[in-house]
Amino acid sequence: MGTLAVALAFLGWKDSSISQMRLISRRCYCAGSLNARLEHNARALFLMFRRGVRALLVPGLLAACASSAPTQQDGAARTQMRLLEALAPIGAPLEDTLPLSIAAIKEGESQPNIIVTGRGRVPKDAADRPVRIASISKLTVAIVAMQMVERGELSLAADVSDILGWQLRNPSFPDEAITVGQLLSHTSSLTDGTDYTAPLPQTLEQLMGDARFYQAEHRPGGFFLYANINYGVLGTVMEAAAGQRFDQLMQQRLFAPAGLDIGFNWHGVTLARQAQAIPAGRYEDAPLSPGEENTPSSQGIVIAIDGEPVGPSPSRAALQGYVPGTNATVFSPQGGLRASLKDLLVLGEIFTTGGQINGVQILAPSTVKTMTKAAWVLNEAEDNGDSYGGLMRSFGLGVHIYQPGNRCFETNGARYLGHFGEAYGLIGGLLVDPKAKRTVAYLFPYTPTNAEDALSDCSGLYRWEERFFKEALAP
């Protein structure tokens, strides 16, 4: 058994897993550079073990090593080891090690390379388990909204007041329309006020009567300001246009056709899948999201309740009387989707297949091009937007765009599309390079301690998150 397999034995792998690692060692032994890299990274695994960290290499490496071509072996192994190095906080104190980290890189049509690390017992099927994916949810809302545009049910230039049936206007610019396209691209002049959800029987119209939801200094269509309320409004607009409840609309138009057992605030998700949920959590000194409830647990971690939606939780009786188009915020379109890491990889296919997901045509290729064209690009000289600490410098229609040459986020010449997420204890992201058909996804279900202090001064990411991307996006 090779050094790497010995390391994993110490890391808690069972006999069957060790046998698998023996097979990996034998099959990969012929590739000199690969074997050297495996041996080198065994030290990383030993150091992780000494800090109480567990690591699981999902069998993408085994499949790759079974190939007879050394170049394929090298490529697959480097991908997995790059992920391992990105997730292993070597030299860092134990408290900087997240209790659970799930990450993957998928190259073309090959099986994804998945790494799971964490302290204590690490579930081997963590990449299959759903978690609240926070703002990555917005990407799926944008997909269905663009499908409705494609079908003529919505128009990007449409005044949403005409669809909602009541006047939605920035009080400082009462004569200027707020459009569907502006909601998608966060250029609507809306801002998150006291909250961005309204419990039933309150309506969205009542919520938006508060002047704190509007930027007094910026008119609709110009200034970029990322705001969750944009997608609460957008979800309600989609309901009004379709005559259907938001959660059911998402199931019918996207999740069911794509064969995904996922849903907003668990609506439409099977009970068996719900039972697999990974709860999100925060360290005790980390700030909470609006409306978040907590329960105490051991090891200084506070676990967020995930059996019910954070914020407003409509009863079945309330939903039976619910009128679509009045208040979709109760379904958390801004961040309430429950999905797994593998689900993210499937959703990312929309950018690499010309609008297909799991072989089903969800959007026309031309619609994907429209969606992924920059609707806003940061111009610091003109002060045309808030970069969110450097994180957001270009945005499409519901799509976060990382362009080549970004000084804070090195993409090695690639243009990545996707979305980041952070809320309810989870930090995650999905980024896709359509040209190379390369997908990077990660879910860290626990916010680290001293979260604000851990932010990068340049990228707006957490420093360890930034380090992860440097490794994951390296050529």
Q: Mind giving me the DSSP string for 94-108?
A: GGGS-S-EEEEEEET
Which of the two residues, 118 and 34, has the higher pLDDT score? 118
Return the DSSP state at 251.
I
Q: Is residue 258 part of a domain?
A: yes
> What is the distance between the alpha carbons of residues 308 and 278, in angstroms, rounded to a whole number?
13
Let me know if residue 469 belongs to a domain: no
pLDDT surpasses 50 at 9: no
Q: Which domain holds residue 417?
A: 132-272+311-454
Residue 88: per-residue pLDDT: 53
Asked if residue 303 has pLDDT above 60, the reply is no
Q: Which residues contact 410 (CB under 8 A, 6 or more apart)?
A: 470, 473
The answer to whether 443 touches 341, Cβ cutoff 8 Å, is yes
Q: How many domains does the chain have?
A: 2
Question: What is the sign of the dihedral through the CA atoms of 359, 362, 364 and 367?
Answer: negative
Helix (H) or strand (E) holding 118: strand 113-119
Residues 35 and 59 in one domain: yes
Q: What percent of the chain has pLDDT over 90?
A: 48
Which residue, of 72, 96, 128, is where some domain finishes? 128
- Return the structure tokens found at 313: 């939780």
Q: Residue 385: which CATH number?
A: 3.40.710.10
pLDDT exceeds 80 at position 470: no
Q: What is the pLDDT of residue 119?
A: 62
123 and 77 part of one domain: yes
Looking at the fold, whether 381 and 449 belong to one and the same domain comes out as yes
Q: Does 294 have pLDDT greater than 70?
A: no
**Three-state secondary structure call for residue 284:** coil
Asked if residue 293 belongs to a domain, the reply is: no
Tell me the mean pLDDT in the region 113-135: 82
CB 238 within 8 A of CB 246: yes
Same domain assignment for residues 86 and 142 = no
Task: Say yes or no: 140 and 118 in one domain.
Answer: no
Provide the 3-class DSSP secondary structure of residue 338. strand
Nearest to 107 by CA among 440, 395, 464, 412: 440
468 falls within a domain: no
Q: Output 68 or 111, whichever has higher pLDDT.
A: 111
Mean pLDDT score, 431-439: 94
| Phi and psi angles of residue 446, each rounded to the nearest 5 degrees, phi first | -130, 120
Q: Does 174 score more than 90 pLDDT? A: yes
What span, in angstroms and rounded, lies between the C-alpha atoms of 473 and 309? 34
Render pLDDT for 207-232 as a digit per residue (tens, 0 to 9).
999 999 999 999 999 899 999 999 99
Residues 36 and 138 in one domain: no
Q: What sections of 51-156 are H helices per DSSP?
A: 60-65, 70-87, 137-150
Same domain for 66 and 42? yes
Residues 159, 198: one domain? yes
- Which strand (E) or helix (H) includes residue 2? none
Asked if residues 262 and 342 have their Cβ atoms less than 8 Å apart, the reply is no
Whether pLDDT at 394 is above 70: yes
pLDDT at 179 over 50: yes
Closest CA to 106 of 400, 333, 347: 347
**Are both 44 and 189 inside the same structural domain?**
no
Q: Provide the 8-state DSSP code for 288.
A: P
Query: Domain check: are 154 and 34 in the same one?
Result: no
Residue 10 lies in a domain: yes
Same domain? For 250 and 182 the reply is yes
Tokens coding 377: 């690009």
Please state, in angstroms and rounded to a whole number, the distance separating the CA atoms of residues 186 and 181.
Answer: 8
Q: Could you tell me if 39 and 181 lie in one domain?
A: no
Name the more confident of 470 and 281. 470
Average pLDDT over residues 134-156: 98
Q: What type of residue sits at position 145? A: A
Quote the mean pLDDT of the chain. 77
Highest mean pLDDT pick, 76-85, 163-172, 385-394: 163-172
